[in-house]
Amino acid sequence: MTSELDRVSMVVLRYMRGPVFVLIAVYAIGIIGMALVPGRDAEGNVVYMNLFHSFYFFTYTATTIGYGEIPRAFSDEQRLWAIVCVYMGVVAWLYTIGSIFRLVQNRHFLLALNERRFAQEVRRIQHPFYIICGFGDTGSLLARGLSDHWLRGVIIDIDPDRIKALGLRDYRVSMPGLCADPTIPRYLEDAGVRMPNCKGVVILTVDDEVNTRIAVMARLLNPDIHILCRSTAKRHIEHLRSLGHVTIINPFEIFAQLLSMAITAPRLHNLNSCLVHNPNVQLGKSVEIPTGNWIICGYGRMGKWLYRHFVLNGIRPVVIDPEATSVEGAARVISSHANHETLQQAGLEQAAGVVAGTDNDHDNLSILMCVNAINPDIFTIVRQNRHENQIVFDAAKADLVLQSSLTTARRVLKHLISPQVQMFLDYLRDQGEDICEQAVERLQLLIGDQRPHLWHFRINNEEAAALSEYLRSGKTLTLGQLGRDPHQLDSSIACMPFTIRRDGECLMLPTDSEPVKLDDDILCCGTEAGENLLSATMNNAYTLEYLVSGHDPVRGSFFRWLQGRGRQGDEQRTG
């Protein structure tokens, strides 16, 4: 396969071979001519300039610099040829410089140069990273989330304006970007799909067909890599499942699941919303979804998923959609657009809630205005299709907003941070609302009014050097001891262990008495300050010893020697 350097060289040679040949020809003619034209010495004898002096003279003459006639005064013949050389050199260099300007503006050259620069930057990445294909609303939100967790992303998008926007983002970590078609295998390879520290490929374009093609290419290039792909079409979802080790993200299904969770487990829904950094949700204050009569405006991809979960929870909604003629199990179907008249026909005044779920933001906002005019106290759910309309939807003050890009980015980020997060939430759902409430209350005692921050770490030499050495020495340490505040031993840092993955099993909500072991993969929730303090503890042997014993150990060889001398003196006096 052609390397990036070869592609750049090929473009340069293609556009510069003409000017280079012209320069070579002009220099050759000028130098040879100057060497053949006879000159005169001081005695009037015929002499000829050697090739070195000819090259030297033509070089500074072609650049319009004049150092005089060397190595002796020219004859009239030589001066006549020098005039020809001046004009030839100037014209040749003007032609060459113009060609250079055209080259640096050439689209193919810029693409090859950017690709080479991008590939080199990716190869220099030493830490784990993820490839993000598609930098639209979802990709941009995901990149911001990765940056907040100090995770790196490598971005490919076919839109040059989006890649230009990437350069203006103030991310915590560098995120190289390339304007290219991610369905072409070469660009995936440039993005590092085969590198050992590439932990996954996230495919987030708006076209399901394109997403499936990218997933196939990525799987063929790296059979073991984890793929996370956005898809809403059944045909493409079935194809993606056949690839193996693919996490399929369907934002409409996810939101329907979250709505069902809000109905049946409001406390868990509140915790999940806080863990994904929903700014409109406060920990411990759950949203209560009414379970009376509901109206669904728009029976498309989102409407069908919401309807399915409404039915699962014993709610038979009214469906308003111009293309819906019959819906099995629906209380009523109105084959028309949602407006003031059809909403009243659907019984909006007596309904418990309404869903504005069309694929047009203007229509959804218009539905909300009609709803507020008829029944301002009703519970409202609205679908937001474009992220740039965020200000308007905030002003609409709907009770729940489905923003497809945000829902997708949050779910992907949850998978990338740690797959244990979803396992933990599933565990809480199985255990019931009481266990969830206890976990939330414990978390609130640690972080107060701050937003929960998720992270995970593994007890090994790379992430916990001092703790690993401590455990290898045969000593034991519990989660409670590890979580002590080194500034105040009778209190704990803002860190609550959610899960411990050990020997292929996952321990949920471990107690403070649970001992930590080598290679434990621990998912924690707390604050960023708590994460930093815990990391410092696990990598500092003195702090670790202080947390266990309550005594600050002597540091430095000299002070340890003094301490040993003091102990020997005490023993002698005692004896």
Domains in the chain (CATH in brackets) are 4-105 (1.10.287.70), 126-249 (3.40.50.720), 259-417 (3.40.50.720), 445-549 (3.30.70.1450)
- pLDDT band for position 508 (cuts 50, 70, 90): very high
What whole-number distance in Å separates Cα of residue 198 and Cα of residue 184?
18
Question: What's residue 559's pLDDT?
Answer: 43
What share of the chain in percent tops pLDDT 90?
A: 26
Chain mean pLDDT for the chain: 85
| pTM, full prediction | 0.75
179 DSSP β-pair partners: 157
Non-local (6+) Cβ contacts of 484 within 8 A are 491, 492, 493, 547
3-state secondary structure 494-523: CEEEEEEEECCEEEECCCCCCECCCCCEEE
pLDDT digits (tens, 9 = 90+) for 26-44: 889 988 988 898 888 877 7
What whole-number distance in Å separates Cα of residue 359 and Cα of residue 306?
14
What whole-number distance in Å separates Cα of residue 556 and Cα of residue 436?
47
- pLDDT band for position 203 (cuts 50, 70, 90): very high
- Higher pLDDT, residue 479 or 110: 479
pLDDT digits (tens, 9 = 90+) for 330-373: 888 889 988 989 999 988 888 989 999 898 999 999 999 999 99
| Nearest residue to 120 (alpha-carbon basis) of 203, 200, 10, 195 | 195
Non-local (6+) Cβ contacts of 165 within 8 A are 135, 140
Non-local (6+) Cβ contacts of 375 within 8 A are 348, 349, 351
**DSSP 3-state of 456:** strand
Strands 495-502 and 400-403: unpaired
130 sits in which H/E element: strand 129-133
Question: What's residue 504's pLDDT?
Answer: 83
Instruction: Please name the residue ranges forming H helices in 197-250.
Output: 208-221, 234-241
Burial bucket for residue 573 (CB in 10 Å: 0-12, 13-18, 19+): exposed
CB 448 within 8 A of CB 509: no
Check pLDDT > 60 for residue 219.
yes
- DSSP character at residue 319: E
What whole-number distance in Å separates Cα of residue 506 and Cα of residue 503?
8
What whole-number distance in Å separates Cα of residue 435 and Cα of residue 420?
18
Question: What's residue 574's pLDDT?
Answer: 54
